[in-house]
Amino acid sequence: MTGTTAAATAAPRGARVTSRRRRTIALVLLLVALAAASAASICLGAKAIPLHVVLDALTSPQDIEQHIIVRSLRVPRTVFGLLVGIALGIAGTLIQGHTRNPLADPGLLGVTQGAAFAVVTAVVVLGVDSLYGYVWFAVLGALAASVTVFALGSAGGRGASPVTLALAGAAVSFFLHGLTSAIVLVDERGMDVFRFWSVGSIAARDYAIAGQIAPFLIVGLILAAINTPGMNTLALGDDVAVALGTNVARTRVLGVLAITLLTGAAVAACGPIAFVGLVVPHLARAITGPDYRWVVPFAGLIGAVLLLVADVLGRVLASDAFEVGIMLALIGAPVFIVLVRRTRLVRL
């Protein structure tokens, strides 16, 4: 709640230095963790592959089994873990900041339910049955839903306020979810596709999909970066933000666009992975404090680490019986609860 500018000027010099040092140390640790998680994600699995073989496979590939596994399965899976983790972590931070609501997740703008509805409609009504087909429908559905939410949330007044944005998002999400359930309950084929799609997984996705979603992710990340300074003033409330010279409407539109692109791309590629976007911002804020210029990059890194670790654990402990979303929540949620109980919370 405390504005960064106010905190920075009011805090004694010593406190400022320690908090900066703390953030730097945390950043280094996170980068190390990310490297370790990526390495583990490539090396470990149903068949463990030693690191030097992995390096060989990447530098001088041959047609042997281990090299093929590394290049065609492990590396893509790791890349998707990284991309989706970063996207969801950052999107979650933005949506919680814009709605000023700790319960907001990246799907709140209707993105996830819009994508789910579009995928199910594509399967049942249009008979689409390739994964590439789903991706485009998911992206379209996500975009359409979030545009609707934003339009409803800002209808009849001076731009979307945090409360109406959150409520409009919830209303549209539930509405679409009702429609999706109706279709799925009537059509068994839709049901079968839907229940696997709705678990969320980064396995068995190939580079073609990465290519499809990459432009959305890149634009989304750029918009998120532009959006961050404005978030700091929005955190003080819309009125104060206006008084400080922030263009609230523009900041909000930018934020919503960034959230939609990031989440839409992640959901389209890997299905809904719910927990990351909801939890990671709280973890990031606990480390960095309320300054969004720090929270946003931290959230991206933490998201990637969390997703990769969960995926590796799912592979190693349960030989892939658990999809990443499930593993994430079953391991991540208890850890999150312990953290919430122990640390002093940074409020939105």
43 or 203: whose CB is closer to another protein?
Answer: 203
Residue 184 and residue 63 in contact, taking contact as beta carbons nearer than 8 Å:
no
Considering only residues 164, 233, 251, 288, which one is a binding residue for another protein as defined by CB under 8 A?
A: 164
Least distance to another protein, CB of residue 92, Å? 11
Least separation in angstroms between CB 105 and another protein = 8
- Does 336 participate in binding another protein (rule CB under 8 A)? yes
Nearest to 95, CA basis, from 8, 5, 164, 165: 165
Q: Are the CB atoms for 340 and 328 separated by under 8 Å?
A: no
Tracing tokens 């989440």 back to the chain, one arrives at 263
Residue 182 beta carbon to another protein: minimum distance, rounded to whole angstroms: 5
Residues within window 306-325 making contact with another protein, judged by CB under 8 A: 322-323, 325
- Candidate residues 10, 58, 64, 185; the one interacting with another protein per rule CB under 8 A: 185
The window from 24-32, 55-63, 275-283, 297-305 that contacts another protein (CB under 8 A) reads 275-283
Evaluate whether 116 touches 141 at the Cβ level (below 8 Å).
yes
> By C-beta, is 172 or 307 nearer to another protein?
172
Segment interacting with another protein (CB under 8 A) among 179-187, 206-214, 245-253, 259-267: 179-187
Distances 92 to 99, 183, 247, 279 between C-alpha atoms, Å: 11, 29, 22, 8
**Nearest residue to 224 via CA among 307, 150, 334, 298:** 298
Cβ-based nearer residue to another protein, 37 or 166: 166
If one asks whether residue 42 binds another protein (CB under 8 A), the answer comes out as no
Q: Which of 80, 216, 275, 294 binds another protein (CB under 8 A)?
A: 275
125 scored as a contact of another protein (CB under 8 A):
no
Angle, vertex CA 139, rays to CA 133 and CA 141, nearest 5: 100
Closest CA to 116 of 212, 201, 210, 195: 195
DSSP state letter for 74: I
Q: Pick the binder of another protein from 17, 36, 126, 186 (CB under 8 A).
A: 186
Cα separation, 307 vs 329, in Å, equals 10
Report the nearest approach of another protein to the CB of residue 146 (Å).
Answer: 15
Q: Does 345 bind another protein (CB under 8 A)?
A: yes
One residue of 43, 199, 219, 253 binding another protein per CB under 8 A: 199
Nearest approach in angstroms of CB 150 to another protein is 13
Chain residues 228-267 in contact with another protein, contact rule CB under 8 A: none
Q: Which residues of 170-205 are buried (b: 16+ CB within 10 A; e: fewer)?
A: eebbeebeeebeebbeebeebbebbeebbbbbbbeb
Structure tokens at 6: 């106010």
Which of 22, 196, 204, 215 is close enough to bind another protein by CB under 8 A?
196
Tally Cβ neighbours within 10 Å of residue 136: 15
Which CB atom, from 97 or from 220, has the smaller least distance to another protein? Answer: 97
Q: Can you read off the two tokens belonging to residue 94?
A: 């933005």
Q: What is the DSSP string of 191-241?
A: HHHHHHHTT---TT--HHHHHHHHHHHHHHHHHHHHHHHHHHHHTT-HHHH
The kind and range of the H/E element at 300 are: helix 292-318
Q: State how far the alpha carbon of 260 is from the alpha carbons of 41, 78, 213, 270, 279, in Å.
A: 28, 23, 12, 15, 18
CB of 235 vs another protein, minimal distance in Å:
15
Among 84, 95, 231, 278, binds another protein (CB under 8 A): 278
- Is residue 1 a contact point for another protein (CB under 8 A)? no
Contacts with another protein by CB under 8 A lie at: 101-104, 108, 152, 155-157, 161, 163-164, 166-168, 170-172, 174-175, 177-179, 181-182, 184-186, 188, 191-192, 195-196, 198-199, 274-275, 278-279, 282, 322-323, 325-326, 328-330, 332-334, 336-337, 340-341, 345, 347
